[in-house]
Chain A
C-alpha cells in the first residue's frame, strides 16, 4: 500500500482513530500500532511480515543478552553474531544472486564452471532499512548507549512502525524508543506542522515526482542512444529532481503521519540541492542513512583519525558500500565510489586550506559558493547516471552522449525542464513555504478545516498526473 494510493487514507484514518482512542493505555496503544503495522506489511506480502518479525526478534534477543552479559569478550561475540545475522538476512535476499552470478562469471573467465543455483527471491520491502536499524540498535546496546524496550511489543513497534518501516527514516533507539516507552501524549503536538508535511509530501511525490517519473526520464534512460545532447542533459538533472521529490515527498508524508499519531521521526532531507559542496550534500541527503554510515561504518573503520591515506580509504570503502546497499548492481557501486572519490577530493581541499591557516569551513565569497553549488549539483546528477541506468553499457552510452550524442531525439519536453528547475528552486524556499503554510493553517478556524482540507485534497487530485509512479526507494 503506497502512501499516495486510494486505500492508504482509509487505513490511516482508522489507525489514527484507534491510536488516539487508546491514548490512556500505553500498552494497548502500542499493541494496536504493532498490529496495524503488521497488517500494513502483510498487505504487501506475508513474507515481508515474516522477515520483519524474524529480524525484530533476532535483534531484540541480542539486545537482551547484551544487557545481561558482563564479560567484554562474550558481549563482543554476541554483538558480532547479531550483526552478522542481520547482514546474512540482507545478503540472502538482496545479494545472493549478484554474488553467485559474479562468481560464475569469474570462474568462467578462469576457465572453470560452477553453474551456481540462482535463488531469485523477492526482496522483502523495507529489509534494507529495518536491518540497518537493527544493526544500529545492537551496536548501541554493545556500546551501552541504546534505549532498551520494556518488552518485545515495544521493540516490534520500534522496528515496524508503519510510516517508516518501508523506506525509513532509519531511527536510533534514542530517538524513537523513549516515545514508545512514555505514556502517549493526550494532545496532538503541532497538528498544523503535520498537515503541512503531508501536503508538502503529497505535492512533491504525487504531482511533481510522478510527472517527472513518467515524462522523458524512463524513455531516455532506456535508450540513450536515441536521445539528443539537450535531452540527455535535461534528463540527467530531471532524474535527480525526480528522486529527490519521490523520496523526500515520501519522507514528509511519513513524518506527517507519524506526527499525527503522536510520534516524531527524524528529518531525512534538508534541502540537499542547496548544498555548496559534497560533504554538505551528504549532511542533507538521506540524513538518517548517511548518519548510520558515519557512526556504524566510517567511525569503526577508523574515521579520520589515522592520517590522510587511511581516511581516504575509509571514505572510499564507506561510500562504495553505500552504493552497494542500494542493490546488487555495479552501477550502484560506481555511483558510491564516485561519491567516495568526490568526498576525498573535498576533504583534501579542506585539509589544504587548514594547513594554510584558513578555517576549513570559513565562509566563501558568493561567487565561490555559486561555483561550489553548481559543481555539487552537476557532480551528483552525473553520478546518478550510473545509479539509474540498468546496465553499465547504457550508463556509458548516456555519459558519452552528453558530449557527442547523435540520436534523432524523443522531443525535449519543456515542462520537464521547468519542473526540474522548480525542484531545485524548492530547495531554497521550501522551508519558508512550509512554515508559512503551518502558520496559515493554525489560523484557520477548526470548524472550517474539514472544508479546507477537502478543497485542498480535491485541488491536488485535480492536478494529479494520470500516470502512476512507484516509490523508488521501496526497491532498495
Chain B
C-alpha cells in the first residue's frame, strides 16, 4: 500500500512568484462580481447583523442592481439546480409574482372564522414551515419534542434566508399550497420574520419602507393570506413570533414585525404564540445562556440571532405548553402528561 509520507519532500511547485498588485486587482474584481451575485445573501446578513440604515439601503440598492442586470435570474437558476441536488424545493427559475395582496374584505372574512382551537379535532399531521430558525435549532427541537405526543406525524421544511417579504426569492405561499396538498396537515406551525424586516418591493418599482404604515399593511396582508391558506384547508395555523435579538436595533425591528404578525394572524383566525419572554432575561434583556441538566450553555449562536441546539430545546419545551392551550396534544408518556397538566 502506498501512501504519501510526511517525511518525504512535498512536491511544491517551483517557487512561483507573483505581483501583489495584480493579485489584489484580480481579487477585488472577482469580489465585486461575487458581491453582485450574492447580493441577496449580503442584504440578509446586513439585516440580521443590523449594520444601520445606510448599510440596509446600500444592500437594497445592490439587490436592485442585481435584479436589473439579470444576475438575480441567473442566481435563481443556480439555486434551482442546488435545490435539486439536495432534494429541497426552491423558487422557480423565473421570478414568481408576489402573492395577491389579501384585500381588506378577505381579511375581514378570515377574521369572522371561528377561533381554530374551538372547532379543530386533535391534530394528527403537523407541518412545520419557516426560515432558518425552522431549518435549524428551533425546528429540530419542535420536531423532536412533538414526537413525544401521541399520534403525531411531523413534517418540517425550513429554508434559510427566506420569508414573506421577498416572494420572488422564494415563493412561500406557492410552496405552502404544495405542502398542504402533499401532506394534508391539520396543524401548521410557522415561524418567519428574521429576514422580513426589510423594504418590500411593490409593482411599478415602488416599495414599502420598513417601519412605515404601508409596510405594516402589506406585510400584514401577506401574513393573513398565509394563515387564510392554511385555514382554508381546515388546519390550525400557529404562528410563532420572533425572539429578542442581541442587536438593539434588530430587536426593535422584530418588535414591530411581531406586532404586525400577531394582529394579522389573529385577524385571520390563526393562533399567535409569543416566544419573546422565553429568549429574554426576567428583566427583559437579551438572554445569553440557558440551563440544561445543571449546565449553563449558550442560548444563541455567535450571530446573536439563531438559537443553539440547547437554546432551541429550552424554548420549545416552554412553547409547547403554550400551544397546548390552543391545541389538544396528548403526551405518549403518562408522566409527561402529569407534568404538563
To the question of whether A and B form a pair in one complex, the answer is yes
| Residue numbers in A under 8 Å from B1 (CB-CB) | 276, 366, 369-370, 373
- Chain B: CB-nearest residue to A20: B20
Contact B4 A190 (CB under 8 A): no
| Bound-complex Cα distance A373 to B12 (A) | 26
Q: Is B206 an interface residue (CB 8 A)?
A: no
Smallest CB separation, B245 vs chain A (Å) = 17
Neighbour of A6 across the interface among B29, B45, B78, CB < 8 A: B45
| Bound-complex Cα distance A190 to B2 (A) | 28
Stretch at the interface among A68-76, A230-238, A297-305, A435-443: A435-443
Contact A13 B31 (CB under 8 A): yes
| B3-20 with Cβ < 8 A to chain A | 3-6, 10-13, 15-20
Neighbour of A431 across the interface among B10, B16, B26, CB < 8 A: B10
Neighbour of B30 across the interface among A44, A370, A457, CB < 8 A: A457
Contact A276 B33 (CB under 8 A): no
In this complex, which of A44, A191, A271 has the most chain B Cβ atoms within 10 angstroms of its Cβ? A191
| Bound-complex Cα distance A120 to B288 (A) | 12
- Chain B: CB-nearest residue to A367: B1
- Chain B: CB-nearest residue to A184: B20
Q: Is B336 an interface residue (CB 8 A)?
A: no
| A1-47 with Cβ < 8 A to chain B | 6-7, 9-10, 13, 16-17, 20, 23, 44
- Chain A: CB-nearest residue to B20: A20
| Residue numbers in A under 8 Å from B18 (CB-CB) | 187-188, 191-192
| Residue numbers in A under 8 Å from B29 (CB-CB) | 450
Contact B34 A458 (CB under 8 A): yes
| Residue numbers in B under 8 Å from A13 (CB-CB) | 27-28, 31
Q: Is A294 an interface residue (CB 8 A)?
A: no
| B144-197 with Cβ < 8 A to chain A | 159-160
Neighbour of B16 across the interface among A6, A190, A464, CB < 8 A: A190
Q: A16-B27, A454-B33, A466-B135 are in contact. Are A120 and B16 (CB under 8 A)?
A: no
Neighbour of A23 across the interface among B20, B33, B160, CB < 8 A: B20
| Residue numbers in B under 8 Å from A189 (CB-CB) | 15-17
| Residue numbers in B under 8 Å from A449 (CB-CB) | 26, 30
Q: How many residues of B contact A (CB 8 A)?
A: 49
Contact B38 A467 (CB under 8 A): no
Q: A13-B28, A466-B135 are in contact. Are A458 and B37 (CB under 8 A)?
A: yes
Contact A271 B4 (CB under 8 A): yes
| Residue numbers in A under 8 Å from B339 (CB-CB) | none
| Bound-complex Cα distance A17 to B31 (A) | 13
| Bound-complex Cα distance A274 to B3 (A) | 6
In this complex, which of B27, B159, B295 has the most chain A Cβ atoms within 10 angstroms of its Cβ? B27
Q: Is A422 an interface residue (CB 8 A)?
A: no
| A237-296 with Cβ < 8 A to chain B | 260, 267, 270-271, 274-276, 283-284, 287
13 A-B pairs whose Cβ atoms sit less than 8 Å apart in the complex: A16-B27, A44-B302, A120-B289, A187-B17, A187-B19, A190-B13, A428-B2, A439-B13, A442-B16, A453-B26, A458-B37, A466-B86, A468-B136
Q: Assuming A10-B31, A187-B20, A450-B27, what are 17 further A-B pairs, CB within 8 angstroms?
A: A9-B34, A13-B28, A13-B31, A20-B20, A23-B20, A187-B18, A188-B17, A188-B18, A188-B23, A189-B15, A271-B3, A274-B3, A287-B6, A431-B4, A449-B26, A454-B30, A466-B88
Which 4 A-B pairs have CB atoms at the shortest separation, nearest pair first? A274-B3, A120-B296, A450-B29, A270-B6
